[in-house]
Amino acid sequence: MWSADEIAELCYLHYRTRLPKQGKPDRNREWTSLAAVVKVESAIQREVLPSPGNLQVTKEVVAMGTGTKCIGQNKMRKTGDVLNDSHAEIVAKRSFQRYLLHQMWLAASHQQCSIFIPGTETGKWKLKPNIIFVFFSSHTPCGDASIIPISEPENQLSKPVTGDDAAGQSAECISNHDRLGPEDKRKSEKMASNHIIKRMKTDDDDYSSVITEDLAVQQVSVKRDGDTNPKSCECSAEIQTANKETGLGRPKVVDIYRTGAKCVPGELGDARIPGLGYHCVGLLRVKPGRGDRTCSMSCSDKLARWNVLGCQGALLMHFLQYPLYLSAIIVGKCPYSQEAMRRAIIERCQHISFLPDGFLTHEVKLLQSDLRFEHSRQAIQEVQTNSRTKLVPCSAAISWSAVPEQPLDVTSDGFRQGTTKKGIGSHQSRSKICKVELFHTFQKLVTSISQEDLPDTLRMKTLETYWDYKEAALNYQEAWKVLRSQALTGWVKNAKEYLRFT
């Protein structure tokens, strides 16, 4: 049907041919990240059902995003007209929601070219059975999925991966070793050869042992009074297994790639022990900002959420009979771990129960391509090997949606590129995928449908603000409540004041 390389190649071609030079990085000094959603449509012939291997499909990029930046908490606005999170995955997902809103309008207008067909409930729609969506990212998602082992043969000395800017990076993982000062590097080397016990202080002044033995597993179990489910902080099973099997000729794990994403406030934090114990896995994280803390959850966390709630968001759930799940997530050539991806996106939420009908912990396929993105950090680094110019992440983000009107959007600092301080707040300064613009597109969809054809959650209702409409999607909100209470307990939610715009 399709392969990871075919999807990657299609996305890279779309990036080269359909996105403008404006917003792309300067190859001499900048890099960026790319993400996209690809529609895969099977050509089902009723007379002859071909075997799965011979099934003919058409592949089309329907949404794309580039970007590596987030705005800090102090730059957030109560008018919904700024993009808080411009990491490529989030730009692509919001661009996808714009595409879905257009497709829903086509369905409601009774146009056969829509991806949706009528559901069994009034005003509800469902995806055509021969269509799936595949998510592509040129890089491993920032946060938990980026905490992956660095391994090498035992007879080879460690050569750490170069990393120059943890705060600005999206998810191009960085070796912990590179960020250490001389003293920490000495400690790291000492820990590699000695059996030692350190103690980590937790928030409530209890102490827990952290045991490190020949770079094997480090595990901390934090048990607080009254806790029935103690939180645990541990190295991944992949690191444990690799080190147990080093005698069998397996490469030895010598370090981990780091993520720039920080643990959420008030929750269990990283041990920050040089070497394998620097990070704890399975934790919720917020994206780093330049000085000012952001309120944006890591891409790993957001993908885990989409894998239970769907990619459509609360507003579109009014019109959908079932959540819209991604069938596969493909990552381009970069540092990658199947175990870390599975842990971050699927396993953290696998145990939850009592979700409303239609919602589930989706078993999304996780794949990697062997094709590298031409503007990735690593690709640019290789080209600039002998240059003394410091590489920096591109400040712009590009959004593209398969919609007829203004499919393209280039932003910087959350606003359309070129916006002046005086222009902030004007209609021209808004990205087409900011909250208020997507909300207005949704409202136009609602008003285009007669009252009797609206779903129950919208029929004869007096709803005004963005918050009102989101809260009225009852099954979505119930699923989100269950997910937050059972798995993503430390999720940083935006205050209501940022959602009460019209």
**What is the C-alpha separation between 116 and 39, in angstroms, rounded?**
13
Measured between alpha carbons, how far is 434 from 82 in angstroms, rounded to an integer?
A: 6
Structure tokens at 60: 């089309």
Which of 360, 368, 288 lies closest to 85 in space, CA to CA?
288
Residues 6 or more apart whose CB falls under 8 angstroms from that of 249 comprise none
144 neighbors 285 (Cβ within 8 angstroms): yes
Return d(Cα 260, Cα 166) in angstroms, integer.
Answer: 5
Burial of residue 355 (CB within 10 Å: 0-12, 13-18, 19+) is buried
Q: Which of 6, 30, 89, 267 is catalytic?
A: 89
- Measured CA to CA, the distance from residue 233 to residue 133 in angstroms comes to 34
- Spell out the residues 6+ positions from residue 41 whose beta carbon is closer than 8 angstroms to its own: 57, 58, 59, 60, 128, 130, 131
Torsion of CA 58, 63, 68, 74, to 10 degrees: -160
> Nearest 10 degrees: CA dihedral of 75, 76, 80, 83?
70
Q: Does the active-site annotation cover 89?
A: yes
Could you list the active site residues?
89
